[in-house]
Structure 1
Amino acid sequence: MPLRWDAFLSAVRERGEYPSRQETERAARVVLALLGAHIVGNERSELAARLPEECALVLLNPLPAAEPLGPDRFVRATAAWIDGSSEETAKWDVGAVLSIVAEAAGEELMRRVLLQLPPGYDLLFGHPGSA
């Protein structure tokens, strides 16, 4: 059974040490939208099924990616979408959200997701060397 939205946000908020639910939710939605643009097929559907419905909707209806972003560009894109964000704070946002996504996904699905992404995403998910 997938996490509930409140539980997902609470986990992200705790991991990211966000001062408000609003900041937590903004980070989660931006990171999930960018991630959804980079994974396809069964892996995206399976990942969506393991996350709260609110996450699944964002993940399954992403902004189309013109090209795959490497991990550094993914962080920069996150910074560009979050008002007042820097690359440093965006790296924190990405890590907080994606580490919770990885926990919800489980090892086997994460391995398949990482195979779709450019090298280096394992570090963003907090799973070095998983691919």
Structure 2
Amino acid sequence: MPQPIICLDEEVCHFAERFRSAFSKPQYQYFVTVLLGLLECEGKRTLSGIASKIAQSPSVSGLSRFLAVAPWDQQALVVMWLEHFRTEMQSLVEVEREQQRTAQPKRRGRPKQPLVTGYVILSP
């Protein structure tokens, strides 16, 4: 069933807001449409499939132009996301490293460096 964009989950809205400065107002609407469509789409993620999951979806040709030729910088989005991700995770990683250090058995020689592994999971 098509979802209106105003029904976005609060976390998805918060995520999308981080990137608002990288887009013009129409581009931001396309960005939110693609983001919500990718989360809601089951099966093959085609432009028509993404558009079908949004109640007031733009045309497929508009989505295609947004992804192919619109003047927004993909690398800037990657940098923005990584910067935010690192600041969010820094304190959590440090706490986990400290717990691993204190749990290590005391042995002679240089102690092993603790390794913290994290995963990013998106679920609709």
- State the TM-score, normalizing by the size of structure 2: 0.32
| RCO comparison, higher one (Cα < 8 Å, 6+) | 1
More helix per residue: 1 or 2?
1
